[in-house]
């Protein structure tokens, strides 16, 4: 039985192992069926063992009961044989023995153990011998007990029993007829041993028949287990078919196929899983669409971004090469956009950018592609057009932009644009070169006066400009690395006394012919190629060296260092200043850092943090080029400066321009109210110098005050006696 069950389990395991080897992972249906079969097998094994051993225990108990019952009956039936030669008793005994085939032989012995009678169903038994002394003594001892017999069985044949029991009679000593009391317990019974009876029992046939029945039951149970396994496999496959059907769609979903369809499920749990997977696929599809939108479009305007536009441009270039038609690339840059951004803030600038994007879409053709390159720069791909068509489209865009008015904070702004055009032909198909050409053409349009278009045409000038830019980059790189820049110092004097208060540090570069080059010639290239921050740090370091060298002969030396926007965008600015000043022994109170008004307006929060950190070191701050922006007065309340430097455009023609005079007087009054000193730049003559004093300006800088020199020197400016008397003392 155990070997059959083990073989079944082995076959089931091999079957499931083949499936696992085929798929690499366990199959859920097979695993559930295997668990069911093994569980049913264990239950069946326990049932069979219980049936077998329980049957054995029942048989043993029944054997004892039958033996006791038969012993009593044979005792009663055989008692007459000891009293007289009773033939009827022998007949009754033979009839009783023949009635039970389990009784092999019955033998009667005298009380001394000698054999008297023997008869039975088995004729092959050995002849009856007299009882041994031991058996005789043990049989006498059980007389009167509750179980008056001896039972023994063979070790090799536990189904064969031999019973030896005494045969006796009991009598009551008083046999009066009237005075007999059967309930009296104190009357001892008299026992008289008559002899012994021996019974040989054989239950082998009964036992073998039972085992045959058990084996049949086991075979039936095994067949039921196999049928149960097959049915369970079929039923589970059918019940779990919905889960199996999810395998292919889930694999497709994992591969990125978000359009996969899921079969509807009948069961609630599977239906919820299908619904969750469909929701996941839908969410992933929406996310991919959103990511694709973000990857290809500008978040502010919804136009194509630079990356997506370049793809369209490359595709158009291939089309031009294959078909042979021509197209045009426009590079559009807004004119003076930063003033609106500075005057009204970035949110206003964003609103204007969206409005410009809508206007460009309306002005361009239906098949044209409009993209935002970044900031206030746009690109337009005009498909299948010639030079005249490109010019006409550009003129349409310029006219639309001229008519467009943007209202912000009750102020009206007219924003124009400059357009550079590069034609896409069979001879001009490299997309990087096309963008560079359109950019160059746009710069030419700006240089020619803005609010116009310019068609790129290859020329010697273009090559010369590119070569000049490359030459400046190499020259500036070498000047930074080899300390080839030179410093000049221009005095800034008080108007009321003419005394020098401090010097502005200016940068120069000596050309190959030995002449000095002004910063207007090389700083634009430095900004364009990202070298401005390094030049700012060079200025700070070398100004500190000059301070250490010149402060001893010039008591009270004070320097003003002009920094670009790139310096204030560097988070290491304050740490570098502190380290440099400590190295060269510079007193921070003797240094004034100048920043331009456009930088202060464009990034007030960032600049405010930088100003605060520099002020904590003890440095002073000056606001340069004041008056050129739209919101000059509004942010003076937010950013505190020590000096306001009035832009030279207000001073250049000051004696002949009443508007400039009123503007300067207003700036001086605001500066005085804010606790700031005002400095006028570009003071070229005495008339302007004295007039500035009358307008309330505190300090002056320009050729009339003093030209830039190699070493800082205090140079007094002559003042009129009237001005000296009327001017209040300098605070």
Q: Which two tokens stand for residue 521?
A: 């010639």
The b-or-e profile of 386-407 (16+ CB within 10 A means b, else e) is eeeebbebbeebbebbeebebe
What share of the chain in percent tops pLDDT 90? Answer: 22
> For residue 152, which phi and psi values (nearest 5 degrees)?
-145, 150
- According to DSSP, the residues that pair with 418 across neighbouring strands are 333
What residues does each domain of the chain span? 1-170+190-239, 248-294, 297-458, 476-726
d(CA 569, CA 578): 17
What are the tens digits of pLDDT across the range 395-421?
999 988 888 877 776 666 777 899 999
- Check whether 381 has a pLDDT greater than 70: yes
DSSP summary character for residue 126: P
pLDDT of residue 634: 59
Architecture of domain 1-170+190-239: 2-Layer Sandwich (3.30)
The pLDDT, as a whole number, for residue 419 is 94
Residues 6+ apart with CB under 8 A from 656: none
For residues 609 and 588, the answer to whether their CB atoms sit within 8 Å is no
Q: What is the pLDDT of residue 525?
A: 75
Q: Which residue has the tokens 């033939």?
A: 87
Confidence of residue 50 (pLDDT cuts 50, 70, 90): confident
> What DSSP string describes 288-308?
HHHHHHHHHB-TTT-SB-HHH
Q: What is the pTM of this model?
A: 0.45
pLDDT band, residue 296 (cuts 50/70/90): confident
pLDDT exceeds 90 at position 521: no
In 3-state terms, what secondary structure has residue 571?
Answer: coil
The stretch 461-481 carries a mean pLDDT of: 69
- pLDDT for 15: 45
144: pLDDT strictly greater than 60:
yes
Distance from C-alpha of 668 to C-alpha of 11, rounded to nearest angstrom: 104
> What topology does CATH give the domain 476-726?
TIM Barrel (3.20.20)
CATH superfamily of 297-458: Reverse transcriptase/Diguanylate cyclase domain (3.30.70.270)
Q: In the structure, what pLDDT confidence band is assigned to residue 548 with cuts at 50, 70 and 90?
A: very high
Instruction: Write out the two tokens for 305.
Output: 């971004």
The mean pLDDT value of the chain amounts to 78
Inter-residue contact 5 to 41 (CB < 8 Å): yes
What phi and psi, each to the nearest 5 degrees, are found at residue 544? -65, -40
**Using one digit for the tens of pLDDT, what is the confidence trace for 218-276?**
788 778 877 777 777 777 777 667 666 777 777 777 766 767 777 776 667 677 777 77
DSSP letter (8 states) at residue 68: H
pLDDT tens digits along 241-257: 766 677 777 777 776 67
Report, as an integer, the average pLDDT of 18-35.
58
529-556: burial string, b at 16+ Cβ within 10 Å, e else: eebbbbbbbbbbbbbbbbbeebbeebee
Measured between alpha carbons, how far is 218 from 448 in angstroms, rounded to an integer? 108
Bridge partners of 327, per DSSP, are 424
Average pLDDT (567-577) is 85
Residue-level length of the chain = 731
């Amino acid at each position: 039985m155990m070997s059959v069950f083990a073989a079944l389990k082995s076959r089931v395991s091999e079957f499931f192992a083949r499936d696992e080897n085929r798929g690499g992972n366990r199959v859920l249906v097979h695993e559930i069926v295997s668990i069911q079969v093994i569980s049913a097998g264990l239950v069946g094994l326990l049932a069979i063992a219980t049936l077998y051993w329980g049957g054995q225990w029942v048989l043993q108990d029944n054997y004892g009961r039958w033996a006791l019952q038969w012993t009593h009956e044979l005792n009663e039936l055989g008692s007459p044989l000891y009293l007289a030669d009773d033939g009827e008793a022998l007949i009754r005994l033979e009839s009783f023995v023949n009635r039970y085939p389990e009784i092999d032989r019955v033998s009667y012995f005298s009380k001394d153990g000698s054999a008297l009678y023997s008869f039975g169903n088995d004729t092959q038994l050995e002849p009856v011998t007299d009882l041994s002394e031991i058996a005789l003594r043990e049989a006498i001892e059980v007389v009167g007990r509750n179980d008056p017999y001896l039972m023994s069985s063979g070790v090799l044949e536990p189904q064969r029993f031999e019973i030896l029991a005494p045969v006796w009679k009991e009598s009551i000593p008083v046999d009066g007829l009237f005075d007999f009391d059967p309930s009296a317990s104190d009357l001892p019974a008299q026992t008289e041993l008559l002899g012994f009876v021996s019974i040989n029992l054989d239950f082998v046939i009964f036992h073998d028949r039972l085992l045959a029945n058990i084996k049949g039951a086991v075979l039936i149970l095994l067949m039921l287990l196999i049928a149960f396994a097959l049915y369970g496999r079929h039923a589970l496959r059918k019940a779990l078919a919905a889960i199996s059907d999810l395998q292919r769609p889930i694999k497709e979903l994992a591969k990125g196929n978000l359009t996969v369809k899921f079969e509807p499920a009948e069961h609630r749990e599977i239906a919820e899983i299908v619904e969750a997977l469909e929701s996941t696929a839908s969410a992933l599809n929406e996310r991919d669409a959103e990511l694709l939108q973000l990857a290809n479009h500008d978040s502010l305007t919804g136009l194509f971004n630079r990356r997506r536009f370049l793809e369209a441009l490359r595709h158009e270039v291939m089309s031009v090469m294959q078909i042979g038609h021509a197209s045009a690339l426009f590079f559009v840059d807004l004119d003076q956009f930063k003033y609106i951004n500075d005057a009204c803030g970035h949110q206003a600038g964003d609103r204007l950018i969206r409005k410009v994007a809508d206007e460009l879409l309306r002005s361009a053709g239906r098949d044209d592609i409009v993209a935002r390159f970044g900031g206030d720069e746009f690109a337009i791909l005009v498909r299948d057009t010639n030079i005249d068509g490109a010019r006409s489209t550009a003129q349409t865009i310029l006219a639309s932009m001229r008519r467009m008015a943007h209202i912000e904070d009750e102020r009206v702004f007219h924003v124009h644009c400059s357009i550079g055009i590069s034609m896409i032909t069979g001879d001009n198909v490299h997309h990087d070169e096309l963008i560079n050409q359109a950019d160059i053409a746009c710069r030419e349009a700006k240089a020619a006066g803005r609010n116009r278009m310019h068609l790129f045409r290859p020329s010697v000038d273009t090559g010369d400009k590119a070569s000049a830019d490359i030459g400046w980059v190499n020259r500036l790189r070498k000047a930074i690395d080899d300390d080839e820049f030179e410093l000049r110092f221009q005095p800034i004097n008080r108007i009321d006394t003419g005394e020098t208060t401090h010097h502005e540090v200016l940068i120069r570069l000596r050309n190959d012919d030995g002449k000095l080059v002004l910063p207007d010639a090389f700083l634009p290239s430095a900004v364009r190629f990202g070298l401005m921050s390094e030049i700012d740090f060079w200025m700070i370091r070398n100004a500190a060296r000059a301070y250490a060298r010149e402060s001893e002969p010039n008591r009270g030396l004070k320097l003003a260092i002009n920094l670009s926007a790139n310096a204030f965008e560097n988070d290491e600015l304050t740490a570098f200043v502190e380290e440099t000043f400590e190295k060269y022994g510079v007193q921070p109170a003797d240094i004034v850092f100048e920043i331009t008004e456009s930088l202060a307006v464009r990034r007030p929060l960032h600049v405010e943090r930088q100003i605060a950190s520099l002020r904590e070191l003890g440095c002073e701050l000056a606001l340069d080029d004041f008056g050129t922006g739209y919101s000059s007065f509004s942010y003076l309340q937010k950013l505190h400066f020590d000096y306001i430097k009035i832009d030279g455009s207000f001073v250049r023609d000051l004696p002949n321009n009443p508007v400039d005079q009123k503007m300067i007087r207003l700036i001086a009054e605001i500066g005085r109210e804010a606790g700031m000193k005002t400095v006028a730049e570009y003071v070229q003559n005495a008339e302007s110098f004295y007039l500035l004093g009358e307008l309330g300006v505190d300090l002056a800088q320009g050729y009339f005050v003093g030209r830039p020199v190699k070493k800082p020197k205090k140079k007094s400016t002559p003042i009129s006696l009237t001005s000296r008397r009327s001017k209040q003392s300098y605070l």
